A = this chain, B = another copy of it.
């Protein structure tokens, strides 16, 4: 087992030990934003440490986004991570590390990468079944295509914000089944979607495909993700061209991107796909992730969505995304879609937890919620198995609802 250098005083069971090392972007007080990696409850300025150690590729980290590093591709990601581990486990490297460590509470965390294109998938069978049952009670819960392809759609890249950013309640049109005409106002059904976001690197050209077994060359890492959703706006607008303003006002990503390498112990077999998908969605690089999320509203834990049950592999999502020749750019982000398990306490959205508002949940202060109220703070956290029975932390994605403007 990899052990941190003694001087770091980093317990081997720390959620952010040397088997994790997620990347982010931070700025010290009065300093510029730069790439860092989380080490325990501190953050290491990677560009500064690399420069001090005489590493030629230090420049790639001396910027305010991960995009340059994302562009370099899988071998550079592996080499960079190996170098960081070496710096943190070899006592003789202390001089190149210690001066560049900052306490987390002394820095500001930023959006870790500039989002190129953002795609949201719909990969949880239980979530799709729940939503189908709520929105289309008279039809089949799953659409006929659902088990043949990972359904996805493009979202708004420009409104992806970092954890901690306040969320202004969106305004728009809604029309209930009994309303004679649409009405305008702040959303009255503001919701969350607990998801994972996968961060893509190493670009491809238009007209090329990335197969299931090549997908890992482009999967840099994973982050917690909350796809805020205005259910009333969405319900009125989404036929026939899909969600638009019900989703595009804001989507929150965690400040930490966990490298796929750190998730090796979290890999599990998929729960099983029947019918077997078409050839381009098959391969040897199929996996799920045994990641446990926790959703809290104002400190009350309301759900424990398990990523374990997700139907489609991240590699299948990426293969599907590119099968038509769509190119990839560093900073492309695709999210899993809401993660919901079979139990009620495992649902990843209020839409499901309260069954479209019919069964409100009670918070520990005694108040109830059908959907989010102004001032509510939603925090999603998560952990995954690490090596040798340990766990690694995924950080958090949090946001507080501000009243509509």
The chain A residues found within 8 Å of chain B, CB to CB, are 116-117, 119, 122, 132, 135, 143-145, 148-149, 151-159, 161, 165, 168, 170-173, 175, 181-182, 184, 206-209, 230, 233, 236-246, 248-250, 275, 278-280, 320-321, 323-329, 332, 402, 405
Contact between A239 and B145 (Cβ–Cβ < 8 Å)? yes
Given contacts A148-B173, A171-B323, contact A206 B154 (CB under 8 A): no
Nearest neighbor of A184 in chain B, beta-carbon distance: B278
The DSSP consensus for interface residues of chain A is loop
Between-chain CB contacts (< 8 Å), 17 pairs? A116-B157, A116-B158, A122-B241, A143-B239, A143-B240, A149-B173, A149-B182, A152-B244, A158-B328, A168-B325, A171-B323, A171-B325, A182-B278, A238-B240, A245-B323, A245-B324, A249-B325
A131 to chain B, nearest CB (A): 8
Copies of this chain: 2
Given the complex, which residues of B lie within 8 Å of A332, measured CB to CB?
Answer: 158
Given the complex, which residues of B lie within 8 Å of A172, measured CB to CB?
Answer: 323-324
Nearest neighbor of A324 in chain B, beta-carbon distance: B170
Contact between A153 and B151 (Cβ–Cβ < 8 Å)? no
CB within 8 A of A209: which of B233, B320, B405? B405
Contact between B156 and A153 (Cβ–Cβ < 8 Å)? no
Contact between A240 and B241 (Cβ–Cβ < 8 Å)? no
A284 to chain B, nearest CB (A): 19
Given the complex, which residues of B lie within 8 Å of A170, measured CB to CB?
Answer: 324-325
Measured CA separation A151–B206 after assembly (Å): 27
Contact between A405 and B156 (Cβ–Cβ < 8 Å)? no
CB within 8 A of A158: which of B239, B279, B326? B326
Additional 19 contacts, C-beta under 8 A, given A154-B154, A154-B155: A117-B157, A119-B244, A145-B182, A148-B182, A149-B173, A151-B240, A151-B241, A153-B244, A154-B156, A154-B244, A158-B332, A159-B206, A159-B327, A171-B325, A184-B278, A184-B279, A208-B405, A230-B324, A242-B243
Given contacts A173-B149, A206-B168, contact A326 B156 (CB under 8 A): yes
10 tightest A-B contacts by CB?
A242-B242, A168-B207, A170-B324, A154-B154, A153-B241, A249-B324, A245-B324, A241-B242, A249-B325, A248-B326
Nearest neighbor of A320 in chain B, beta-carbon distance: B245
